[in-house]
Amino acid sequence: MEAVWDRGGWLTPREVLDVLTTERELAYTTVMTILVRLWRKGLLERRKDGRAFAYHAVQSREEWTAHRMGELLALSNDRAEALSHFVEAMGQADRVQLRRLLRIDR
């Protein structure tokens, strides 16, 4: 997902492999398998690109992060307590940003 988010746009398995091989050696089939699994989980969409498929993230990194935060919060027996701990762990700049966002009439 990091490679897809970082590069943006539609990426073929070869393009993802090219991004990832700078970090470590992977087989093309391994990258293809991972992309297909992420597509089946609904994290990627795909379209035909020549003989291969090209993949694109369904959500931005930030949207996915917010979704995961919501999922984790739902696991808590005491949401207010969990939120309290989360806010206490934030840095000052993040708290200021949170206050600003909460003031916005949505």
For residues 30 and 70, state if they share a domain.
no
Report the DSSP beta bridge partners of residue 14.
none
Residue 105 pLDDT class (50, 70, 90 cuts) = low
For residues 53 and 74, state if they share a domain.
no
Q: How many C-beta neighbours within 10 Å does residue 30 have?
A: 13
Domains held by the chain: number: 2
For residues 41 and 88, state if they share a domain.
no
For residues 68 and 49, state if they share a domain.
no
For residues 9 and 47, state if they share a domain.
yes
- The helix/strand count (H/E) of the chain reads as 6, 2
User: How does pLDDT run across 23-52, given as a tens digit for each residue?
Assistant: 678 899 999 999 999 999 999 999 999 999
* Structure tokens belonging to residue 83: 């939120």
For residues 15 and 31, state if they share a domain.
yes
Question: Last residue of a domain, which of 57, 73, 90?
Answer: 57
For residues 69 and 48, state if they share a domain.
no
pTM over 0.75: yes
The pLDDT of 15-29, averaged and rounded, is: 85
Q: Which of 29, 1, 24 is nearest to 13 (CA)?
A: 29
For residues 66 and 93, state if they share a domain.
yes
For residues 23 and 6, state if they share a domain.
yes
User: Domain containing 41: what range?
Assistant: 2-57
Query: Taking 90 as the threshold, does the pLDDT of residue 10 lie above it?
Result: yes
